[in-house]
Amino acid sequence: MVRLITHNILACHAKGCTQNNFPLQFKDASIELKEQEFNPDFLRNFLSRLEWKALVDTARELGDTSLPLEMPEMIDDEFLKNLHHVLLEIHVEEGAMICPNCGHSYPISNGIPNMLLAEHEIG
């Protein structure tokens, strides 16, 4: 299950690919929605670790427009519920993630991303 919380942490690490290598772009993503327990404290704590623009852009690409472009100053329950859904309930089960810089494709199969590189691609 590649959830957007995890996607927000993965970057391309191919040889020489050090700039504009995040966020990876989903391709042919097949999505499943799975309910998760809502935990506002966890979300509040996690906010500072997120790359907000990457999260919002990716959610929009996957068809979810519930998050504002700028992280709001007032964190209310409605915002946290939307954030909860985007971060934790959207699961990309199949497809690939493409590096916006070098074009490297990382496949996702059965919800597990394969981030390995071939020998000659390792930096």
Binding site for another protein (CB under 8 A): 1-3, 5-6, 8-13, 21-22, 36-39, 41-42, 45-46, 49, 51, 88, 106, 110-117, 119, 122
Least distance CB 28 / another protein (angstroms): 18
At closest approach, how far in Å is the CB of 57 from another protein? Answer: 15
Q: Distance between CA atoms of 104 and 49, rounded to whole angstroms?
A: 25
Alpha carbon distance 101, 104 (integer Å) = 8
Least separation in angstroms between residue 15's CB and another protein is 11
Is 58 exposed, middle or buried (CB count within 10 Å of its CB: 0-12, 13-18, 19+)?
Answer: buried
